[in-house]
Structure formats: structure tokens, C-alpha cells
Amino acid sequence: MMRTPSLAALASLVATAAAAQQNLVSQGSIVGGAEYRSYSFGDNFSAERVSQFAMPVGFIMPIGDRFSFDIGTAYASTRVDLGGTHATYQHFTDTQLRASYIIGSDALVASVMVNLPTGEETTSLRDFNISSSVSSNFLLFPVNSYGSGFSVTPGLAAATTAGSWNLGVAGSVRWNDEFQPFSDSGSSSVRYQPGLEGRFRVGADRLVGSSRLTLGATFSTFGTDEAQGGGLSSGGRYTPGNRFMVDVSLVAPVGSGSMSFYIWDFYRTNGESGDTVSSSTNNSENIFTAGASGAFRVAQKLVLEPVAETRLWSPDQGNGFLVGGGANLRIAVSDRLVLVPGARFDLGNIEDPLGVDHSVTGWSALALLRVGLGAGR
């Protein structure tokens, strides 16, 4: 599925501060486009290059004052180059349908998201290896998972005002159905049941002068994944480590535009595997990111959005960093049509678990399009 939350959630898909009964979504729209991202690695890495071309599409619509829904999926092609050969895996991802409803007159929103398994949850071992090469939390591939079975995620979010602060709290629980991950003859009977996932977030923002300061913290915890069948005669278990994410951002008007400065830190604790006796999987990791982005109107219908960012990766063994920059152009082709082309370049390094350094060079290009459909009410 698409890599998800962005701090930019603060400003778009906008809702009003004044009254919660106004819809979360201001207008219906169809969005889509294409995005290409490639990372080339230095000598002796397990891949010379991993690249992905993704074409996401989504539809979002408000209905009345309280209800809104969105649906989205993507088609992605992932290619891995190694030793003069390459392998490609391409398929649709899962489709996600989410609905939100504003309850009462206070700022309380109930949402439910259904993950429909239109992606290929069952693949050959070879395809799994290719598709999972983009699952890293450190690298920035647009699609990090092609399919993970049917799931339902209900949740609640609330916000209130306390003095000059706006405070928010949100939580969700994700229930996953089991699925058959592999199609190869030796492992086709394996059934995989991901554990329950719970997420909890607190956030706050306020104006500081003419700028907005935003603070947020998200905690995710997971039940135990279970595998049955295949060679796993007695089954297998994996308990994912908890995830912590904290983010701080400051958005300030600058001249005719705005600048945003942000930092966020993602930390995942070690998971555990085993059944009666668990052992650490040593897959903890920490990703620290700091960056600045801007939005400057350079013409009446043209906004330039530069970004510069660095991220530091600290897994249980090894480490890595990326320093990158790029820019998007936001072109208001008409009242209803917005086109966003953009490009980005990253340089960095990955030290593998054996302590060997590998350079990383990444670049990406994208073209996204949004067609507005009106207020939908």
C-alpha cells in the first residue's frame, strides 16, 4: 500500500476550526498520477539498484455536512537490478476505502477503513523478495507493500481548544484477516495471520506570533502474527516491536509564501519471534528526520515548493543517512485542475550489518493531478 502519513496533514484535506459539523473534506476530487523513484547502491550491496514506478489513484468525496469517504489504490512496478540482470514485479496494491463521520456538534470524528485485498497477497517467493525490497522504512519508495489481506480499522479522533492551544487525540484498532502469502508448491499451504494493531496519537498546535507550532506523538502496538502450515508444522509466531513517532513542526509566513521546519523521529523496538520461548529479532530501528520545505507563489497560478531534508537511520546493526532536496511545482491549470510535477535527489550511505559502507544515490520524479468535483453537498 501507499506509504502514508505526512506532516502535511495539518494543512490540507482541510477542516474548519470553528465547527466540527462542517465536513472534514471541503470538496470532492479525483487524484492520480505517476511517481518514479530509484536508489542505486555502491559495490557489493545486495542490489545495484532498486526502483519503483507507481501510479496511484484516489477519489475523495464529502456527502452532506458530516460524512465523507475516500477510496484509493495504486499500480506499482518494482525492479531490482543486480549483476547485469534484473527482475521486475508489477501489480495493483490493495484498495483502501475509508469513511468518516462527524458526531454531534463537538469535534469528534469516527472513521473506519477497510483494506480490500485487490493487491497480490499471494506471490511466489521470488516475487515476494522483489516486492519486499521496497518495504524499508528508511528509503522512500511510494508503495511499500503490495498486499496484506483483508483488514478493518475503526477509529476515533477528537480535538478541542484549550486557551491558545488546539489539542487532539486519536486512536484506532486494525484487525487483519489471515491470508496465504506464498504460491510456491512447497509453501502454498502457509497461512499468515497478522496480529491486531492499535494506534494512539496525541497532537497539539497553536499560533506563535504569525507561525504555527505543531507537536505530535503516535504510538503503535501490535498483537502477535501467527503462521500455520507449510513447513511450519507447529506454527510460528512473530510479535512486532512497538512503534513510537514524535513530530514537531513550525510553519511561518515568509514574504509571499511560507516556510516549514520540521523534525520527526520514528523508533521501533525489537520484535520477538518464537512460540513458547521468544527471542529478539534484533530488528529495532530509529529514523530521525529534519527538514525544511517552502511554498512560494511565483506567479498567479504557480507555486514553487522546495524541500531539503536529511534523515538518519539507526537499525540494530549498521546505520545509514540520506541528504536530499528537490522541488515541486503546483500549477493551478484551472479552478478545478491542479497539476504537480516535481523532482528530488538524494545522496547518502548505508552501512550494512557487517559494517561495510555502501553509497546510496536516489532520485525521483512525479506528476500528480487533482480534478476538483465541487463541494458535493
Partner 1 sequence: MITGLALDTGAAAGRADQRLAVPVGRDEDQRFRGTIFLDPATSHGPPFWRGTPAPSSGQPARLSPIYGPGVARQFAPLFPTPGPPVHWVQFPLPGVIMIATRWIAALAAGVSLAGCGAGPPPAGPAPQEIPALEAESQQHPGDAERMTRLGVAYFEAGQFERARDVLRSSLVINARQYSTHVYLGLAYEELAAFDSARAGFVAARELASDSRQRDEIDGHLNLLTRRELQFAAKQAIAQESTLSTAPPRPNTVAVFPFRYSGSNPDLQPLGRGLTHLMITDLAKVGRLTLLEREQVQALVDELALSEDGRVNPATGARSGRLLRASEVVQGSVQEGANQNQIQLDAAVVSATNASVLATGQAADQLQQLFSLQKAVLFRLLEQLQIPLSPAERRALSERPTADLQAFLAFSRGLEAEDRGDFEAAQAEYRSALARDPNFRAASQRASTVQLSVGAATIPPPVLAGYAPRTDGTGGTQPRSGGTGGVVVVSGRGPILNSGVLNTIPSIGSTLTNRISTQIGPVTQQPGTRAPLPEATGSDNAGSPGVLVGTVVIIITRP
> At 276, is the secondary structure helix, strand, or coil?
coil
> At 221, is the secondary structure helix, strand, or coil?
strand
Closest to partner 1 by CB, 323 vs 368, is 368
Supply 181's cell numbers: 502469502
Q: What angle do CA 187, 193, 197 make, to 5 degrees?
A: 145
Quick one: which of 51, 52, 216, 321 contacts partner 1 (CB under 8 A)? 216
Span 15-74, contacts to partner 1 by CB under 8 A: 15-18, 20, 22-24, 26-27, 29, 31-33, 46-47, 50, 56-60, 70-74
Supply 260's cell numbers: 516549514
Interface with partner 1 includes 271 (CB under 8 A)? yes
Per the listing, cell 510479535 goes with 239
Within 10 angstroms of residue 187's Cβ, the number of other Cβ atoms is 18
Interface with partner 1 includes 14 (CB under 8 A)? yes
Quick one: which of 52, 140, 286, 321 contacts partner 1 (CB under 8 A)? 140
Nearest residue to 50 via CA among 148, 167, 135, 173? 135
* Binding flags for partner 1, 234-253, as an x/- string (CB under 8 A): xxxxx-x--x-x-x-x-xxx
Q: Do 154 and 115 meet the contact criterion of CB atoms below 8 Å apart? A: no
Element (H, E) at 131: helix 125-131
Quick one: which of 44, 189, 196, 275 contacts partner 1 (CB under 8 A)? 275
Buried b (16+ CB within 10 A) or exposed e, 137-146: ebbbbbbbbb
Quick one: which of 10, 343, 347, 365 contacts partner 1 (CB under 8 A)? 10
**Distance (Å, whole) CA 47 – CA 55:** 24
Closest to partner 1 by CB, 43 vs 335, is 335
CB 93, min distance to partner 1, A: 7
Quick one: which of 38, 269, 273, 361 contacts partner 1 (CB under 8 A)? 273
The set of residues, in sequence order, having a beta carbon less than 8 Å from that of 62 and lying 6+ positions away, is 23, 24, 25, 26, 27, 28, 68, 375, 376, 377
Closest to partner 1 by CB, 91 vs 251, is 251
CB 273, min distance to partner 1, A: 5
Quick one: which of 281, 312, 325, 347 contacts partner 1 (CB under 8 A)? 281
Per the listing, cell 508448491 goes with 185
CB 36, min distance to partner 1, A: 15
Q: Do 41 and 53 meet the contact criterion of CB atoms below 8 Å apart? A: no
Buried b (16+ CB within 10 A) or exposed e, 5-36: eebeebeeeebeeeebebbbbbbbbebbbebb
Quick one: which of 88, 196, 302, 336 contacts partner 1 (CB under 8 A)? 336
Category of 83 on φ-ψ map: left (φ > 0), alpha (ψ -120 to 50) or beta: left
CB 318, min distance to partner 1, A: 4
Interface with partner 1 includes 100 (CB under 8 A)? yes
CB 123, min distance to partner 1, A: 10
Quick one: which of 180, 206, 242, 347 contacts partner 1 (CB under 8 A)? 206
* Binding flags for partner 1, 156-195, as an x/- string (CB under 8 A): -xxxxx-x--xxxxxxx---x----xx----x----x-x-
Closest to partner 1 by CB, 126 vs 359, is 126
Per the listing, cell 513517532 goes with 245
What letter represents residue 333's amino acid? V
CB 77, min distance to partner 1, A: 15
* Binding flags for partner 1, 290-329, as an x/- string (CB under 8 A): -x-x-x-x-----x-x-x-x---x-x-xx-x-------x-
# binding residues, partner 1 (CB under 8 A): 180
Q: Do 182 and 200 meet the contact criterion of CB atoms below 8 Å apart? A: no
